[in-house]
Chain A
Amino acid sequence: MTGFDLLRLKDWTDPVPPAGREVASRLPEDDEGRPPVLFVPGLGHGAWAFAEHWLPHTAGRGFPAHVLGPRPGGDLRAQVHDVVQTAASLPRRAVLVGHGVGAHVVARALARYPARAAVLVAPVLDGWAAAGSALLANPGGTLPALFGGRLRVSARQLFGSGLPAERAAEYLERIAPRPRAELLRRAVPPRPVGAPPVLVVGSPDDRVVSRKALDRAAAAYSGAPLLFPGMGHDLMLEDSWAEPIDAILDWLRKQV
């Protein structure tokens, strides 16, 4: 993990231009002073992916819950900027929860904002490895993208077998991944500021992020991943979506 980041010439001379940000929120009935949770969706997923189950569930368990829709066409730097801007706009130190490439964004945002805690769900920190897995699982949909064409994902890649086919099809309809070349590298997560507790969550049966990649991500934060066998990459959309989010919130309660 890299050291301190004092000289931010890029940000000082060429700040990310502001953009309207889409934030959906669900607040608990009573404010018990718990930290707000900010969800960050991954590649091609909009705010809806969390609004479906995890957002209301998190609010139901007493945490103010927010999800940030990605800015259209935004590169990694702009996405990190948006996460930090949104987190800083909340009344208290926020917990950042990112999924897939959104977890990569969160990992970077942690170097720019002292989060209360962070959760990386099926994190895509290693773009090459993820592309490799995608090639294996769905060569026809992936190969064109490596040459600048459209990326098409399949249900098999994102969901476990438990999700009814028509629901999977409905979700796929809304997922429009436009990967940028900058994702195609193995990112060493920068050192988080404020030493937040970081949890890595995933599934050994994820066809985008391998078990090894999960172990590596967790090791970068000196931990082991919390695993949910049988689930696909999109843990928050699966039929068994409640298990991982309950485990995450249980963990969170112990941290804060």
Chain B
Amino acid sequence: MHDSPDPGDRRDAVCVVGAGASGLTAVKNLLELGFQVDCYERETAVGGAWNWRHDRSPVYAGTHLISSRPLTEFPDFPMPDSWPDYPHHSQVLTYLERYSAHFGLGEHIWFGTEVVSAAPTGDGGWEVTTRSTGGGSSRTSRYAAVVVANGHNWDPRRPTIPGEFRGRLMHSSAYKDPAVLRGRKVLVIGGGNTGCDIAVEAAQQAGQVWHSTRRGYWYAPKYVLGRPADQVNGRLLRLRLPLRLRQWLYRRTVRLTTGDLTRFGLPAPDHQPYESHPIVNSQLPYYLGHGRITPVPDVTAFDDASVELADGRRIEPDLVITATGYRPRFEFLAPELLAADEHGRPDLHLHVFARQHPTLAVIGLLQPDSGVFPLAHWQSVAVARWLRLRLDDPARAAAVQQQESAKPLAAWSKRRVVKTDRHWFEVDHLDYLRSLESLLNEMEPAA
């Protein structure tokens, strides 16, 4: 910093917001291409969501990965092969801490520092204002680019249910320990992976459990044919089987293994396999079959001690957990910078690049049918190479930008998915990686 005229001017340096998995890989890949990097992290340690001590972490004591190890690890830093197929969240944190230490990322991260605003300066640069988390004086620095990796699983999407509820009501983000379930009568709302995990933990701990879902889903087991389900699915993709055939195989496999879940009172899925974000849970059907979980439809109202259901039934839980997911939130950026819609959902090229601001990018803002880390890695490689190309060869960079924006809608974004809020950034990891690969190849120096 000493050679720049203004102590707040970081010239060609890049600012990274957040030191979760996405921020860490962004820092690593930017450093690798020779950038100076300042990463700001509001917590006092790395790991983001996987550091369950963090006040905004959505992870609970019993969380294990749903994507298996080979599909979850960074492509250039494998998890130990002696680890289980589906590591525990504490192992994922250890892995991220080791990644950070191995590549010496810590010295580039300012912990306990929150980014409160980032605004374009008009000449392609950025003015970033930071503050100690929870208060204190603020400080503004100039950067050449901003890479946002603030995560999207921390701002609860709370359902609006009419009426007052007398019992305890909490969103799954506040759920940490199954002890709160012990002996209670619990209603879990939401059929995402969180809702299903909590319903299972409640089946093991609570006195009575209702699980409310507003549609039928495909519940994938963690193992199929003796292998992790995503690895088996990968084999089908490797054989390049068409979607229709894969859907048929999926239905067959489910019929032969898990069986017909409508028998337990669940609604039949209102969509085909692969048309919603995968739910991976082997234990939910098990506890349904044991009568430990009672499936119920959508909740329509609260009425003092009771809860009214869409089929007119009333139940009386004493604890309601809404596992209704999370919303993206970028409180430090004006919505138009990311072309965000009225729900705050950004419209970005490849879910990464701000269309009007070539020096603004977001990492990890997508939901794949695989682990997130490999995608966040290649996004970061693409961003680092893009920023490098802009500096080294502005003419080529402009040509690449034109080429990219002229491309027809890519397969990954044409996917048929259930029309629901949470699917706006659902991607097929193979199609998505192919699009990134094509961008990376376009940015290669001409041979």
Contact = CB atoms under 8 A, between A and B. Distances in A.
A198 to B, nearest CB: 16
Interface in A1-36: 3-18
Interface string A181-195: 000000000000111
Contacts of A233: none
A63 interface: no
Contacts of A14: 231, 235
Interface string B344-383: 0000000000000000000000000010000000100100
A84 interface: yes
Q: How large is the interface on A (under 10, 10 to 19, 20 to 34, 35 or more residues)?
A: 20 to 34
Interface string B421-447: 000000000100110110011001000
B76 A12 contact: no
Contacts of A16: 81
Contacts of A5: 75
Give the secondary structure class of A's interface: loop
A7 B77 contact: no
Nearest to B34: A195
Give the secondary structure class of B's interface: helix
B437 A7 contact: yes
A5 B444 CA distance: 14
Contact of A8 (B75, B77, B235): B75
Nearest to A193: B76
B81 A88 contact: no
Given A6-B378, A11-B70, A112 B76 contact: yes
Contacts of B81: 15-18, 81, 85
Nearest to B81: A18
B340 interface: no
B76 A194 contact: yes
Interface stretch (A90-98, A135-143, A209-217): A90-98
A192 B71 CA distance: 21
B268 interface: no
A167 B102 CA distance: 40
Contacts of B378: 4, 6
28 contacts: A4-B381, A5-B75, A6-B378, A6-B433, A6-B436, A6-B440, A7-B434, A12-B70, A12-B71, A12-B231, A12-B370, A13-B234, A13-B235, A13-B238, A14-B235, A15-B231, A17-B81, A88-B78, A88-B80, A89-B80, A91-B102, A92-B101, A92-B104, A93-B103, A113-B76, A114-B32, A194-B32, A194-B76
Interface of B: 32, 69-71, 75-78, 80-82, 101-104, 230-232, 234-235, 237-238, 370, 378, 381, 430, 433-434, 436-437, 440-441, 444
